[in-house]
Amino acid sequence: MSQMLAVKTENLGRVYQIKRKRGESGPTTLVALEGVNLEVRQGELFGLLGPNGAGKTTLIKILTTLLTPTSGRAFVDGIDVVENPQEVRRRINMVSGGETCGYGLLTVEENLWMFTQFYGLDFKTARERIQYMLEVVGLADRAKTKVYHLSTGMKQKMNFARGFLNDPQILFLDEPTLGLDVQTSRILRDFVKRWVRERPGKTILLTTHYMVEADELCDRVAIIDQGRILACDTPANLKKRLQGASVFKLQTTPLDTLEHFKQLPGVTQFAGHRRNGHTELNFILEDENALVKVLDAVQAKGGHLLSLEKREPTLEDVFIHLVGRGLSDEESPPERIL
Amino acid sequence: MKNFQRELAVFVRTVIGRAYPRLIGLQRERSWLFFEIFLPLLGTAAFVYIYRALGAKPEFTGFVVLGGAMTAYWMNVLWSMATQFYWEKETGNLALYLIAPTSRMAILLGMALGGMISTTVRALAVLILGSLVFRVTFTVSDWGSLGLVFFLTLVALYGMGMMFASAFLLYGREAWHMANLLQEPVFLLSGFYFPIKSLGFWISAVASLIPITLGLDAMRQILYPQAGWGFLDVRIETLTLAILSVVFLIAAHRMLLWLENIARREGRLTVRGQ
């Protein structure tokens, strides 16, 4: 395979076996990934965008050698993750958002030092990198604080810092800003962008279900749902797929049923949900004329229009266009059941 | 050669890195002073008074105090070695250990080394306090043999702990129950508070698979050569401990590889609340 690829998967699949008690009915397998073909170039900041349960974390687990695929192959920096996992580990690190690491009894810098030792870093290098990363995540003044005194957000920041300490060739960021406040998320996103730009050849594979994050950070994005890659391109090119279509977001008073909106003439795709006491409707229309039918339908259902916004297509619209529902919609099953 | 040096450096650094939290815990978590010295002393005291009430020879008090001190190692192996990977999995550390390019044995060894050192401080505290409170005197007939037996006992015991730890890569609460199940029977079979010889040859022979059984028996023979309660000759017990050390360490290594592969295949390495 080409040396220019940081990650490559060939027909990658993962099926989980489900243990059932005697007499318990139901499926015995879960498909988490199916026929995934992906190529991530060296130096790329590549995004995997999909709803919860789409298979993003399963893919990361396979690429970081925590899980073996049930079919297909995966390569990291040209190395087969199943045949030579130890070589893969020398080149990678991983940060999972919402996770913490280490031991509460140790201070922030002691915890980070412990993890550097698993990568064989000498004392001086480890210390320099720890100090640098603590500055980046804004924890420099907490270096001597015991971890159990930190807030959850601070622990997450420490975990984020840990991921960069071994200066990995390929870094896997699994929902890195999950649960963090807006300002911290922005700081971390800026750093991620800078890290890749300033270090030629370094690659980041980022999974997220925040479309803004994928749009803002990634050179290319793969949209994944129910274990399958549905599209893969630059954010701009993905959005171009909706060129000519009209994208509208409506807020109305609460509506009981939303199903009928899909059947309206001129509606290409539709996703809607209730939020904070109102109903939010996202439409991709063939043209603006179809909007009249939509507004009629809202009125017919007894709803009142609260706001109407015509906007440029976003990655979420691309997702809606491809899947027929929004990234945050609950009806998405975690995995397909065979 | 360079590769070997690099691997060795990572191995050694991992051992030190993973041992560190255990050592630092001694200083920072002072509650152990009460729970791990005072409480074991209470249990020890009960047996001391039983022996005294029955008019047993004074060396039996020494047997009990030594057993009380060695209890700390068994508890450490069971709850801080064997079950440790369960906690590491629950807290998310396990995944981070496993994606690092280091030997898993180095991580286990670090845990073991840290545990051994911190437990030695606790065991010594129990031994010294117990000896002072109950006026126990030890006469060491052979320091070399005592040191060797003690060292081999710890290697074999922590080797066994490392082997059990591997099981937690694959199993969660099931293994936890097993650890629970092991606690009290091992107290009995290892002869913490009485000479193992009193269980009879065959039961003692089976109990000898637990390294602390022979270790305690040999140490008691070295400290009280005149007591005459030894199960086997000290040299045989030392040799058996050496064999057990090698067997448990190799078994731990093999089991770790084997169970890690199964866990990776079945997706159990990162499953929580198992």
Show residues of chain A in contact with B21, CB under 8 Å: 103, 105-106, 110, 114
Q: What SS3 state is found at A107? A: strand
Q: Which residues contact B16 (CB under 8 A, 6 or more apart)?
A: A117, B110
* Interface test mutation site (partner A, options B96, B98, B171, B260, max chain A beta carbons within 10 A): B96
Show which residues on chain A lie within 8 Å of chain B, measured between beta carbons: 14, 16-17, 61, 64-68, 86, 89-90, 92-94, 96, 99-103, 105-106, 110, 113-121, 146, 162
User: In chain A, what percentage of residues exceed pLDDT 70?
Assistant: 96
* Interface test mutation site (partner B, options A16, A71, A96, A118, max chain B beta carbons within 10 A): A118
The nearest CA of chain B is from the CA of A174 a distance in Å of 13
Cross-chain residue pair A100–B91, CB shorter than 8 Å? yes
Give, as one character, the DSSP assignment of residue A294. H
Q: Residue B19: what pLDDT?
A: 95
Q: Residue B91: what pLDDT?
A: 87
Full DSSP string of chain B: -HHHHHHHHHHHHHHHHHHHHHHHHHHH-TTHHIIIIIHHHHHHHHHHHHHHHTT--THHHHHHHHHHHHHHHHHHIIIIIITHHHHHHHHTHHHHHHTSSS-HHHHHHHHHHHHHHHHHHHHHHHHHHHHHHTT-----S-HHHHHHHHHHHHHHHHHHHHHHHHHHHH-SHHHHHHHHHHHHHHHHHTTSSS-GGGG-HHHHHHHTTSHHHHHHHHHHHHH-TTS---SS-HHHHHHHHHHHHHHHHHHHHHHHHHHHHHHHHHT-SS----
Q: Is pLDDT above 50 for A337? A: no
Residues belonging to chain A: 338
> Are the CB atoms for B212 and B73 separated by under 8 Å?
yes
Highest-pLDDT range among A62-76, A205-219, A264-278, B125-139: A62-76
Structure-model confidence comparison of residues A311 and A122, the more confident one? A122
Distance CA(B244)–CA(B152), nearest Å, equals 9
Q: Is pLDDT above 70 for A335? A: no
* Residue ranges of chain A assigned to CATH 3.40.50.300: 1-91+172-241
pLDDT range class, residue A336, cuts 50, 70, 90? very low
The nearest CA of chain B is from the CA of A1 a distance in Å of 23
Where on the phi/psi map is residue A179: left (φ > 0), alpha (ψ -120 to 50), or beta? left
Contacts 24+ apart (CB under 8 A), B25-28: B25/A105, B25/B118, B26/B118, B26/B121, B28/A105, B28/A146
Q: Residue A3: what pLDDT?
A: 53
Cross-chain residue pair A99–B92, CB shorter than 8 Å? yes
Q: Residue A98: what pLDDT?
A: 76
Whose CA is closest to B252, among B169, B151, B152? B169
Q: Residue A190: what pLDDT?
A: 93
> Are the CB atoms for B229 and B195 separated by under 8 Å?
yes
Q: Is pLDDT above 90 for A277? A: no
Compute φ and ψ for B240, nearest 5 degrees.
-60, -40
Token duo for residue B135 = 């006026």
Q: Residue A268: what pLDDT?
A: 83
* Residue ranges of chain A assigned to CATH 3.30.70.100: 244-312
pLDDT tens-digit map of A176-200: 988 888 888 999 999 999 999 999 9
Q: Is pLDDT above 80 for A327? A: no
The order of strands in the sheet holding A246-252 is A267-275, A278-285, A246-252, A305-311
pLDDT tens-digit map of A111-169: 999 999 999 999 999 999 999 999 999 999 999 999 999 998 899 999 999 999 999 99
pLDDT range class, residue A328, cuts 50, 70, 90? low
Q: Report the predicted TM-score, pTM, of the whole model to 2 decimal places.
A: 0.86
Q: Residue B272: what pLDDT?
A: 67
Q: Is B98 exposed, middle or buried (0-12, 13-18, 19+ CB in 10 A)?
A: buried
Whose CA is closest to A137, among A97, A88, A187, A172? A187
Of B17, B265, B270, the CB nearest to A114: B17
Whose CA is closest to B217, among B188, B244, B192? B192
Q: Is pLDDT above 80 for A338? A: no
- Give me the residue spans of the domains in chain B: 2-266
Run of H or E including A184 = helix A182-198
Distance CA(B68)–CA(B184), nearest Å, equals 14
Cross-chain residue pair A66–B92, CB shorter than 8 Å? no
Of B29, B93, B99, the CB nearest to A89: B99
Q: Is pLDDT above 70 for A1? A: no
Show residues of chain A in contact with B6, CB under 8 Å: 120
Q: Is pLDDT above 70 for A75? A: yes
Token duo for residue A221 = 């994005």
Chain B residue nearest residue A19, CA to CA: B266
Lowest-pLDDT choice from A203-212, A253-262, A328-337: A328-337
Does CATH place domain A244-312 in 3.50.50.100? no
- Could you report the predicted ipTM of this complex, rounded to two decimals? 0.87
Of B18, B29, B101, the CB nearest to A89: B101
The order of strands in the sheet holding A203-208 is A92-96, A170-174, A203-208, A45-49, A220-225, A228-233
Structure-model confidence comparison of residues B94 and A332, the more confident one? B94
Chain A residue nearest residue B18, CA to CA: A114
**Blockwise average pLDDT, block size 10, chain B, 274 residues:** 86 96 83 77 90 91 92 86 85 92 93 90 89 88 92 94 84 75 84 90 93 94 87 95 96 92 86 65
Q: What is the overall mean pLDDT for chain A?
A: 88
The CA–CA distances, whole Å, from A132 to A109, A128, A143, A147, A180 equal: 11, 6, 11, 18, 21
Q: Which fold has domain A1-91+172-241?
A: Rossmann fold (3.40.50)
Residue with tokens 């890569």: B169
Cross-chain residue pair B101–A16, CB shorter than 8 Å? no
Q: Is A152 exposed, middle or buried (0-12, 13-18, 19+ CB in 10 A)?
A: exposed
B6 contact A CB<8A: yes
Cross-chain residue pair B6–A120, CB shorter than 8 Å? yes
Token duo for residue A128 = 């320099």
